[in-house]
Amino acid sequence: MKRDYVIMLVLLAALIVAPMFVYPVFLMKLLCFALFACAFNLLLGYTGLLSFGHAAFFGGAAYVTGHAVRNLGFTPELGLLAGMATAAMLGFVVGSLAIRRAGIYFAMITLALAQMIYFLALQFRFTGGEDGLQGVPRGHLFGIIDLSQINTMYFFVLVVFCIGFWIIYRAIHSPFGQVLKAIRENEPRAISLGYDVDKYKLVAFVLSAALSGLAGSTKTLVFQLASLTDVHWHMSGEVVLMTLLGGMGTVFGPIAGAAIVVGLQNYASGLGEWVTVITGAIFVLCVLAFRRGVVGELAALFRKPGSR
Amino acid sequence: MTEIFGVPTQALFGQLLVGLINGSFYAVLSLGLAIIFGLLNIINFAHGALYMMGAFLAWIGLTYFGINYWLALVLAPLAVGIFGMLLERLMLKRLYHLDHLYGLLLTFGLALIIEGLFRYFYGISGQPYTVPEALGGAWNLGFMFLPKYRGWVIAISLVVCLATWFVIERTKLGAYLRAGTENPKLLQAFGVNVPLLITLTYGYGVALAAFAGVLAAPVFSVNPVMGSNLIIVVFAVVVIGGMGSILGSIVTGLGLGLVEGVTRVYYPEASAVVVFVIMVIVLLVRPAGLFGREK
């Protein structure tokens, strides 16, 4: 626990000074995806549920925020809340349907339902179809603080990320989180102990969906754009990769995973289609050889022999 | 011209035919998935990519080596089947003792690699593949024209599906397969080479995907994303039919193709979503799928 706080403080300090050295828009993208991956990890890493449709929450919220801010004149913070609320509601519907089945079935159902959202995004008028929602204004926070300033925007995104991360961290280390881990480790035993397992799973699902939505909404404000890429199933795959690569079921793993994947996409974009091939190869390699992920392997390395 | 509920019969039958063709592809693809899932307990995410690979091999064969359609119909599935068996031996085999989700993740990675490579070499624009001469033209059925090739696709898909169903449900080899899904350890104790059985099964399921790919080549343009667009619908078909059910995948595949066709006539906007809507309804009523057994 104590070590976690030290890492968090170091990370926070690094993120505060980072825009002096790194392009802030890249950092903001990284923070959005890191939050997305952390929210996803709450489900996969701590509850043992593999959702293959998290793009629906990320992208669904992105569209709602874009629409609310651009067309309905919402302030940024209300836009984020609207996106989050939408994602939570979607999460409730998808979650209620999906938790009726376990394991691979669960993954397939979330994937298919997310694909439904994708087609709806393609059909609805307000989403702009193939073009997406472009030119979403960043607006004024609380009607006062101008977010079009890039550094102001960065610190706003950083605060949003910290709030999201803190919620996840507290959830994991609460009695609620302990029950989730119990479900992950041995579901029949959790049931026999008298826990209403389905209810816990659903709450975890909704929480994860809402925070994924927060990440998607923030992304819309950063790039002033919501598009079909956000709801496409490739996005669902990407967040799985980030979590797996960083280390699922670890606190900081998804952040590391998101940093590696986003960094790869940004700095290797000149390689064109090879990025897809490399991403796939990393996936295969992770599954075959490094199932604990970067952070998981590091933690295992530094753990004193015999302390497990 | 006669009409049914305000739609000209010509248009209705035309869409039903398209639906039946799509349904044939759904059926062959979901059959392959069902077989693989039954024995390996893996959702083969690479299925769409291997289907695309089948179509591309047929196109490459014709363009560069002059291999005609009929030969491609045999060679492409064979090549992809062998490729699949290699994948199974080298990679998938290492995951059986783990959570089944890792299989899904690994095949997802494989799909990305295969798709990325084809996109790198051939771009995303489609390549045309001409209909073989013997199947050019159309039959006049009186109420509509049926292009010969489309009739052939539906017929051969049905034959392949039914033959596969027959082998699995009615022969000794099929009995081994079904025993393998129930209790591989016991089957091994009886002296059956279960790992070989698994490899061959994966190879066959994957070959089915490539076979569908070759069939699809003259109907759709051959392009690297043809599989990834189709596969999600096929997954939905598998969920509706009941995962692992052989008969379920065939019947649901064809049925949903038809439903899509009908929807396209009466309410075109919903045709892409209708399969998923049906999936939700089926899940609410029968969580195990139409033909699935509750585990």
Q: What is the pLDDT of residues A66-77, one digit of tens each?
A: 888 888 878 888
CB < 8 Å from B in window 11-70 of A: 50, 52
Q: Do A112 and B115 touch (CB under 8 A)?
A: no
Q: Which of B43, B110, B269 sits opposite A280 (nearest CB)?
A: B110
Is a pLDDT exceeding 60 seen at residue B77? yes
Nearest-angstrom CA–CA distance, A232 and A209:
16
Is a pLDDT exceeding 90 seen at residue A195? no
Of the CA atoms within 13 Å of residue B94, those in its CB half-sphere come to: 14
B106 to chain A, closest Cα gap in Å: 5
B139 to chain A, closest Cα gap in Å: 36
Q: Do A283 and B101 touch (CB under 8 A)?
A: no
Please report, to the nearest 10 degrees, the dihedral formed by the alpha carbons of residues A111, A113, A118, A123 taken in order. 160
Low-confidence winner among A26-30, A148-152, B150-154 (lowest mean pLDDT): A148-152
DSSP label of B195? H
A116/B contact by beta carbon, under 8 A: yes
Nearest-angstrom CA–CA distance, A255 and A242:
8
Residues A163-185, mean pLDDT to the nearest whole number? 90
Which residues make Cβ contacts (< 8 Å) with residue A122, sequence separation at least 6?
A129, A130, A228, B272
Q: Sorting pLDDT into bands at 50, 70 and 90, what band is B293? A: low
DSSP B96-140: TTS-THHHHHHHHHHHHHHHHHHHHHH-SS-B--PPPGGG-SEEE
Nearest-angstrom CA–CA distance, B5 and B228:
35
High-pLDDT (> 90) share of chain A, %: 23
Nearest-angstrom CA–CA distance, A88 and A83:
9
A228/B contact by beta carbon, under 8 A: no
Is a pLDDT exceeding 50 seen at residue B217? yes
Nearest-angstrom CA–CA distance, A50 and A47:
9
Q: Do B120 and A116 touch (CB under 8 A)?
A: no
- The residue with greater pLDDT, B79 or A273, is B79
**Contact indicator for A62, A84 with CB cutoff of 8 Å:** no
Is a pLDDT exceeding 80 seen at residue A135? no
Low-confidence winner among A28-37, A129-138, B250-259 (lowest mean pLDDT): A129-138
Q: Which of A122, A233, A288 sits opposite B91 (nearest CB)?
A: A288
Nearest-angstrom CA–CA distance, A283 and A300:
20
Q: Could you tell me the two tokens for B1?
A: 């011209």
Number of neighbours of residue A21 by Cβ within 10 angstroms: 8
Residues B11-34, mean pLDDT to the nearest whole number? 85
- Tens digits of per-residue pLDDT, B116-130? 888 888 877 778 787
**B138-140/B145-147 β-pairing:** antiparallel
> Could you tell me how many CB contacts below 8 A there are between chain A and chain B?
121
Nearest-angstrom CA–CA distance, A225 and B195:
50
A170/B contact by beta carbon, under 8 A: no
Is a pLDDT exceeding 90 seen at residue A37? yes
Q: Could you tell me the two tokens for A73?
A: 């004149």
Bridge partners of residue A146, in order along the sequence: A140
What pLDDT, on a 0 to 100 scale, did the predictor assign at position B40?
82
What pLDDT, on a 0 to 100 scale, did the predictor assign at position A307?
45
**Contact indicator for B250, B208 with CB cutoff of 8 Å:** no
Q: Do B273 and A103 touch (CB under 8 A)?
A: no
**Which residues on A lie below 8 Å from B38 (Cβ)?**
none
Q: Do B239 and A112 touch (CB under 8 A)?
A: yes
Number of neighbours of residue B221 by Cβ within 10 angstroms: 15
**Contact indicator for B9, B141 with CB cutoff of 8 Å:** no
CA distances from B209 to A205, B33, B54, B105, B277 (A): 34, 9, 7, 19, 25
A116, A265, A291: which to substitute to probe chain B, counting the most B Cβ within 10 Å?
A: A116
* 3-state SS class at B218: coil
Q: How many residues does chain A have?
A: 308
Q: Which of B104, B117, B232 sits opposite A277 (nearest CB)?
A: B117
Low-confidence winner among A52-56, A259-263, B93-97, B206-210 (lowest mean pLDDT): B93-97
Indicate the average pLDDT of chain A.
Answer: 85
Q: Do A277 and B113 touch (CB under 8 A)?
A: yes
Bridge partners of residue B178, in order along the sequence: none
High-pLDDT (> 70) share of chain A, %: 98
What pLDDT, on a 0 to 100 scale, did the predictor assign at position A294?
81
Q: Which of B109, B272, B280 sits opposite A283 (nearest CB)?
A: B109
Pick from A198, A221, A232, A222: which is nearest to A98 by CA? A198
Number of neighbours of residue B27 by Cβ within 10 angstroms: 28
What pLDDT, on a 0 to 100 scale, did the predictor assign at position A308?
43
CB < 8 Å from B in window 269-288 of A: 272-277, 279-284, 286-288
CB < 8 Å from A in window 243-262 of B: 243
**B145-147/B7-8 β-pairing:** unpaired
SS3 string, chain A, reads: CHHHHHHHHHHHHHHHHHHHCCCHHHHHHHHHHHHHHHHHHHHHHHHCCCCCCCHHHHHHHHHHHHHHHHCCCCCHHHHHHHHHHHHHHHHHHHHHHHCCCCHHHHHHHHHHHHHHHHHHHHHCCCCCHHHCEECCCCCEECCCEECCCHHHHHHHHHHHHHHHHHHHHHHHCCHHHHHHHHHHHCHHHHHHCCCCHHHHHHHHHHHHHHHHHHHHHHHHHHHCEECHHHHCHHHHHHHHHHHHHHCCCCCCHHHHHHHHHHHHHHHCHHHCCHHHHHHHHHHHHHHHCCCCHHHHHHHHHHCCCCCC
Residues B43-59, mean pLDDT to the nearest whole number? 90
B109/A contact by beta carbon, under 8 A: yes
Residue of A nearest to B122 (CA): A273
Is a pLDDT exceeding 60 seen at residue B163? yes
Residue of A nearest to B99 (CA): A103
Residues B166-174, mean pLDDT to the nearest whole number? 86
Host H or E run for residue B3: strand B3-4
Number of neighbours of residue A149 by Cβ within 10 angstroms: 12
Which single residue is written with the structure tokens 């990325």?
Answer: B116
B218 to chain A, closest Cα gap in Å: 26
B274/A contact by beta carbon, under 8 A: no
Q: Which of A112, A119, A272 sits opposite B120 (nearest CB)?
A: A272
A245 to chain B, closest Cα gap in Å: 12
Q: Sorting pLDDT into bands at 50, 70 and 90, what band is B61? A: confident
Residues B126-138, mean pLDDT to the nearest whole number? 77
Pick from B239, B248, B181, B48: which is nearest to A105 by CA? B239
What pLDDT, on a 0 to 100 scale, did the predictor assign at position A15?
80
Q: Which of B43, B105, B280 sits opposite A108 (nearest CB)?
A: B43
- Tens digits of per-residue pLDDT, A263-277? 888 887 777 778 888
- The residue with greater pLDDT, B122 or B88, is B88
What pLDDT, on a 0 to 100 scale, did the predictor assign at position A216?
92
Q: Which of B117, B273, B283 sits opposite A109 (nearest CB)?
A: B283
CA A276, A277, A278, A280 torsion-angle sign = positive
Is a pLDDT exceeding 50 seen at residue A101? yes
Is a pLDDT exceeding 50 seen at residue B227? yes
Host H or E run for residue B146: strand B145-147
Q: Do B113 and A103 touch (CB under 8 A)?
A: no
Residue of A nearest to B42 (CA): A104
Residues A154-182, mean pLDDT to the nearest whole number? 90
